[in-house]
Structure 1
């Protein structure tokens, strides 16, 4: 594995992954305070004060070096506007494993931004860092995230029924994953 890795913006065709910055507060707050956006997340809609705290914490996450390190970059569209965030968490160095996640602002959904942003992080993970496996854990009722996992070539790996008590109900957890060889096959001309 190639560590440490210090954050540098990742550029795609239409999106850029860049560090969160102070001027992202308003769109980040709009997204994280929206109950519909937070419906399938591990937290309730957040207060402005909480988003200020989260912005400062996540903007400072700039290095992947050891287990527990994470990135939470902003997704910016082709005009540089904030449209969401990605999540990339180094969960094992020995096993070369990371977790991926995403949140997209409602106005930006359905435009392929999350797919492109996730592919940028998968390329970073597999092609630059030398990861063996990247996985996502999500509420299986979140059909948009399930569909995104499938578009990325992630396999359905697990279904844990009534896994946690969350927001007043028992919720399931779905697991999706992709291995480095599966990523390489998708990127090859024959894949």
Structure 2
């Protein structure tokens, strides 16, 4: 067998569900939908709270800066090439299942299509903590990655002091793989970064 044939045979599989255009996703209690221009007040309202902003990777914005930040995130609505991303608003639908109150955001980024590798992130209003909404929304995002997009690996990076997000990673089946000491500056001070990940095999085994 030639070297070329050997390399081809052992190459990792690529993501199979690309390109993917963002669409609404449903769970038992939640609606995940792409961001729109009406989300300025909803997003700014809870992201500026002290307990929420503490671990965000961006600064909390004033109204004008928030509008520009939102426009950039609205444009993130398709996964096709490495670096693309989608940001979803997480809603509590009303009694009829129609659009309701935004309680958080979840995001998904295509890090390397050739290796079917994705990164996910989340932020939720502290008033809804402890009700399982974050678990429900992030689990739905994992289903999108593995069932629709042909994902092999999904990871999350967070400030190592963020115990709430670390617990969520464990609940949805992610395992901590690394602790990168002094790797990022969060709000003006050096902080450690924890890396959590889940593989497709882990996801299937946990169902």
Tell me, yes or no, whether TM beats 0.5: yes
- Contact 2:86 2:108 (8 Å CA) reproduced: yes
Aligned residue for 1:159, secondary structure, equals strand
| Residue of 22, 26, 34 corresponding to 1:7 | 22
What whole-Å deviation, never above 9, does each CA across 1:127-146 have from its counterpart, x for those lacking one? Answer: 10001000000011111100
Q: How does 1:58-137 map to 2 (within 5 A)?
A: 58-79=73-94, 80-137=100-157
What whole-Å deviation, never above 9, does each CA across 1:79-103 have from its counterpart, x for those lacking one? Answer: 2210010010000011110001100
Aligned residue for 2:114, secondary structure, equals coil
TM-score, length basis structure 2: 0.87
Does the alignment pair 1:180 with 2:195?
A: no
Distance 2:112 2:23 in 1: 22
Between 129-138 and 27-36, the greater mean CA deviation after superposition: 27-36
Choose 1 or 2 for highest CA Rg: 2
In structure 2, runs of 5+ residues without a counterpart are 1-15, 95-99
| Equivalent residue pairs, number | 187
RMSD of the TM alignment (CA)? 1.1
Distance 2:24 2:103 in 1: 15
In structure 1, runs of 5+ residues without a counterpart are none
Q: CA deviation at 1:10?
A: 0.5
TM-score, length basis structure 1: 0.94
Does the alignment pair 1:161 with 2:181?
A: yes
Moved over 4 A (4+): none
- Contact 1:35 1:44 (8 Å CA) reproduced: no
The aligned residue for residue 10 of structure 2 is none
The aligned residue for residue 8 of structure 2 is none
- Contact 2:55 2:186 (8 Å CA) reproduced: no
Distance 2:156 2:144 in 1: 16
Between 37-46 and 155-164, the greater mean CA deviation after superposition: 37-46
